[in-house]
A and B are shown apart, each in its own frame.
Chain A
Amino acid sequence: MGGAFGPVLLIGGLFLLIALNVPVAYALGLSAMAASLYIGIPLEAILLKISDGVDNFALLAIPFFVLAGALMAEGGIAIRLVNFANIFVGFIRGGLAMVNILASMFFGGISGSSVADTSSIGSILIPMMKREGYDDAFSVNVTITSSTQGIIIPPSHNAIIYAYAAGGTVSIAQLFLAGIVPGIMIGLALMVLTAIIASARKYPKGELVPLREAVRISAGAMLGFLTVVIIVGGVIFGIFTATESAAIAVIYAFIIAMFAYRELAWRDLPKLMGGVVRTVAMVMILIGFASAFAYMMTLMQIPAKVTEFFLTLSDNKIVILMMINIMLLVLGMFMDMAPLILICTPILLPVIKSIGVDPVHFGIIIMLNLGIGLVTPPVGTTLFVGCAIGKISIDQAARALWPFWLAMFIVLMLVTYIEPLAMTIPRMVRF
């Protein structure tokens, strides 16, 4: 449908509008509208698809994850997780950098967001690291790369976006389970790298935390960790849907932040909610417009044509996965994660199914890959936030980024080609 020009108008129009600096969500809507006019689809149908896109109960998990994460971040959990991580790794050489990575692993399990992680953990640890004599760019790069664990380690609102973009055929619980090992692998890879750099540069050691103090710190952090138990446990054991567990997590996080940690006051809530609304509405409208865009792609049979194209290049699974990874890494350098998941998933899912890759496995590959994009210049939101906190230029951080980037790339390759790394846990825990 639409001949050869229809797909050019849709895809080419999108990239042209994005290049002009039109917000990505509206660029998706405009290109879908232009293509629908070209092939004679009534615009009411496009508007209906936009509404249908957000008229979906499963997607309500996204605002709740973001709100629960914000409540925990502003409500005092970040500093408690930093202190908790300090018990385990603070005493070794480069201890503060290790604490940064481990705290991000813990915090990622709560917020599910790389940017929230960078701003919360980074605001505490980057100034501390600089005071202790760590190099500025090193401090920022450890923070931003370790924050990408939050995208993979459950819960992750990007997993919900992927499950939606995959047409609801992928289980959110399975995606959560599949993210555990790859998420931890990023942390371990960064810790090995940090140990090597810390040893070479003679970065300082911290002090061992006394047992009594360690018990007190752990008890304080446990209240925050229960958020993860509620969300992940609720979804995996089928007690709640993802949306329900996220709503319960919001109520729990609110009670903890307001009444247990007492680090959030009523007067703080309007500002906190303002930040949450800006993030959530931006993602949800993106999903709405992306639904219309995906509808037009399906009408024009673009996913089928892309599959055909990939299979003419090669029918080798390893080669196709490498081509997809390279394509996503390049796209990730220029565009944010949510829009890329929404645009690329419907196009690439038929390709990866045709070569026998599990869509759950592919979900982890795409999230890991686009997570690397978040820290890669020229456009990387996590990189920008980290540099702003560390008060260094993008160039300064980018020049020292390559060892971290390489460590993450190695993890991406391992997760892509050694399927059991992601898929063993989901296969073991099938309900």
Chain B
Amino acid sequence: MKPLYVRVMDVIYYVCMAVAGIAIAVMAVIIGWSVYTRYVLTEGSFWAEPISIALAVQMTFYGAAACYRANAHISIDLLVRGLRGPASTLASRLVDILMLIVSMAMIWYGIGLVKTTFFQVYPEFQHIRVGVVYSALPGSGLITLLFVLERLIYGPPDLDADSGESTQPAVQA
């Protein structure tokens, strides 16, 4: 049985994936609706753009944290691939430490950004606070940090085992 920490990370991972997936689907519907209102009902939906942007920010940052756990970010292992034994371990620990640093910077300075923009609103739709939208930045940093700690303590997660998902990098282009 997986350790409790890993099981909690599994839940967080699937929540991040669900948030990002639902955000994409909702954005498509909202923007489709705004086109319908513009051409068929002949009135624009002023709220469609700010809400979609707010969702896109959540999708990007929470999705990126999930991508880290799924090993889906583009990286180049050409130089470290040939390393063996302690050198290989040292190189991967170094990457983990660098990821910890960038995650902590996202949390610390992200909170600063949220505080600065908390009372700002989108001009087209004043019910959304910019600071709330940007809270995804420290949120993503925190989740990435938890995933990095998981990797440091328990090694790379085995997502294949319970979901049939690939842990190979997702590729685009």
| Residue positions of A touching B, CB distance < 8 A | 17-26, 29-30, 33, 43-44, 46-48, 50-51, 54-57, 59-60, 63-64, 66-67, 113-115, 151, 157-158, 240, 243-244, 247-248, 250-251, 270-271, 273-286, 288, 334-339, 371, 374, 378-379, 381-382, 384-385
Decide if the interface of chain B is mainly helix, strand, loop or mixed.
helix
Known A22-B99, A115-B171; 18 more pairs at CB < 8 Å: A21-B91, A25-B73, A26-B73, A43-B109, A47-B137, A51-B57, A63-B56, A64-B31, A114-B173, A240-B35, A274-B17, A277-B17, A277-B63, A280-B63, A285-B73, A371-B173, A382-B171, A384-B171
List B66-100 residues whose CB lies under 8 Å from chain A.
66-68, 70, 72-80, 91-92, 94-95, 98-99
| Residue positions of B touching A, CB distance < 8 A | 17, 20-21, 24-25, 27-29, 31-32, 34-35, 49, 52-53, 56-57, 59-64, 66-68, 70, 72-80, 91-92, 94-95, 98-99, 101-102, 105-106, 109-110, 112-113, 116, 133-134, 137, 164-165, 169-173
A-B contact pairs, 8 of them (CB 8 A): A21-B77, A59-B56, A63-B27, A151-B173, A240-B35, A251-B28, A279-B171, A381-B173
Distance in angstroms between the alpha carbons of A48 and B112 in the assembled complex: 10
| Residue in B closest to A275 when the chains form the complex, CB atoms | B170
Contact A60 B21, beta carbon cutoff 8 Å = no
Contact A19 B172, beta carbon cutoff 8 Å = no
Contact A26 B98, beta carbon cutoff 8 Å = yes
Shortest distance between the CB of B155 and any CB in chain A (Å):
16
| A24-B73, A47-B109, A281-B20 known; A57-B63 Cβ under 8 A | no
Shortest distance between the CB of B140 and any CB in chain A (Å):
8
Contact B173 A115, beta carbon cutoff 8 Å = yes
Shortest distance between the CB of B123 and any CB in chain A (Å):
13
Distance in angstroms between the alpha carbons of A125 and B72 in the assembled complex: 27
Tell me which residues across on chain B come within 8 A of A371, comparing CB atoms.
173
Contact A20 B63, beta carbon cutoff 8 Å = no
Shortest distance between the CB of B135 and any CB in chain A (Å):
11
Shortest distance between the CB of A19 and any CB in chain B (Å):
5
Tell me which of A21, A22, A113, A244 has the highest count of chain B C-beta atoms within 10 A of its own C-beta.
A21
| A20-B91, A24-B75, A338-B173 known; A284-B63 Cβ under 8 A | yes
Shortest distance between the CB of B29 and any CB in chain A (Å):
7
Decide if the interface of chain A is mainly helix, strand, loop or mixed.
helix
Tell me which residues across on chain A come within 8 A of B75, comparing CB atoms.
18, 21-24
Tell me which residues across on chain B come within 8 A of A382, comparing CB atoms.
171, 173
| A115-B173, A277-B20 known; A33-B105 Cβ under 8 A | yes
Distance in angstroms between the alpha carbons of A248 and B70 in the assembled complex: 30
Tell me which of B24, B64, B74, B94 contacts A276 (CB under 8 A): B24
| A51-B57, A281-B67, A285-B60 known; A273-B24 Cβ under 8 A | yes
* 9 A-B pairs with the lowest CB-CB distances in the bound complex, closest first: A281-B63, A23-B73, A278-B170, A285-B64, A247-B31, A273-B21, A284-B60, A278-B72, A381-B171
Contact A288 B76, beta carbon cutoff 8 Å = no
| Residue in A closest to B73 when the chains form the complex, CB atoms | A23
Contact B21 A26, beta carbon cutoff 8 Å = no
| Residue in A closest to B50 when the chains form the complex, CB atoms | A57
Shortest distance between the CB of A240 and any CB in chain B (Å):
6
Tell me which of A50, A276, A385 contacts B21 (CB under 8 A): A276
Distance in angstroms between the alpha carbons of A23 and B109 in the assembled complex: 21
Contact B52 A23, beta carbon cutoff 8 Å = no
| Residue in B closest to A30 when the chains form the complex, CB atoms | B102
